[in-house]
Structure 1
Amino acid sequence: MVAASIVLAPLHPESDLRAVEAVYRRASDYLALESGLTPDAAARAFFEERPPTGDDAPLKFGVADDTGGLVAIGDLAFGYPEPTDACLGLLLLVPTVRGEGLGQAILGEVKRLASARGALRLLLGVLDANERARAFWERQGFKLNRTSGPHAFGKRHHLVHRLELPLGGNA
């Protein structure tokens, strides 16, 4: 399902709440692991959550398949935790497109956007229980920055590994 160019389409709660809820419904494996929330509660939280600091509201984005249906959602913040950082708060793919190169393609576009905004590094958090995701990010060149927690995620508590990737030729 990897297109030649990936479009990170901005998502808005007024028009896209149900589509985001459908992604969470299809990715129920992640939702059960991460928070135990219902898909509708997770979709509302997706639009409400923001980092404690940062330049602007985060970019809530979606990636559609060739039929126009969302198959991935994400959350990219700039200026958090440091002014020259970008933080990928979430990248969630529905199971049917995992392992096909879409995550890597989305990451390429995220890195391009972050670099264009002057970010020197890209950070993200991976739940300790999500070993498959951590392995993916480490294959992309991310390194452990620190581990913290446990933190509350809905009905669950997790240790979180903060991973970082230098941008702008600093790799």
Structure 2
Amino acid sequence: MHIAPLRARDRLRIAELLRHDHGYAVRVNGVPSDESDVDDLLTSRPAGTSPDQLHSFGLWLDEASLAALAVVMVDWPQAGQNWVGLLQADSRHSGQGHGRRLHDELLRRLPSACWRLAVVDSNAEAISFWERLGYRLTEERKPWTSPAGEQRTALIMELSIPQTD
């Protein structure tokens, strides 16, 4: 098992993982994942950010088996904060701690005192996973429109990490 940055050559493995998503894409986006989601995962970033702020990592069981992936924007939405855009495990490997392992490695590789993410209300069952990792719901709520045009609410969660010098 190893964790490595995801690259364009990993497209087929990423697409396969996105197809085995516990129904995440339909719950959140209103439609199943497709090839454009792979491109978005590897290249999409918020306006005004630079490519070096976008980090995509995969947890590989072996050279051909991608068990989990994560996308993080560093120093976004403001300096000193990292934003988890996605952390997803392949449903065929769920319950084996791969998401936690990948998350722990992100904290090590991309140190920050503050980590934030959004859980879309239609995927609220994910809140307990994030709480087990130390995240807490904030009072922030943001309107969000899914790719299928469905109105949702994004619930913002935050993890504060005490910094040692």
Which interval holds the TM-score relative to the shorter structure?
Answer: 0.7 to 0.9
Percent identity between the two aligned chains = 22
Map of 1:22 onto structure 2: 16
User: Deviations 1:41-80 (Å, cap 9, x if unpaired)?
Assistant: 2212212321334462311111111363111111011110
2:103 is equivalent to residue 107 of structure 1: yes
Q: Distance in 1 between matches of 2:109 and 2:83?
A: 11
Map of 1:139 onto structure 2: 132
Q: Could you say what the CA RMSD is over the residues aligned between the two structures, in angstroms? A: 2.0
Secondary structure at 2:134's aligned position in 1? coil
Provide structure 2 residue ranges, at least 5 long, that are not aligned to the other structure. none
1:153 to 142, 146, 149: 146
Q: Distance in 2 between matches of 1:83 and 1:53?
A: 13
Q: Tell me if structure 2 keeps the 8 A contact 1:111–1:167.
A: no
Deviates more, 1:42-51 or 1:70-79: 42-51
Provide structure 1 residue ranges, at least 5 long, that are not aligned to the other structure. none
Deviant stretches of 4+, over 3 Å: 52-55
Q: Tell me if structure 2 keeps the 8 A contact 1:54–1:79.
A: no
- Spell out the pairing of 1:72-91 with structure 2 (5 A cutoff): 72-91=68-87
Q: How many residues align?
A: 160
User: Deviations 1:9-61 (Å, cap 9, x if unpaired)?
Assistant: 11123x12222111111226112112214421221221232133446231111
Q: Distance in 2 between matches of 1:60 and 1:141?
A: 21
Using a 3 Å threshold, how does the CA distance of structure 1 residues 65 and 52 change in structure 2: closer, same or farther? same
TM-score between both structures, scaled by the size of structure 1 = 0.83
TM-score between both structures, scaled by the size of structure 2 = 0.85
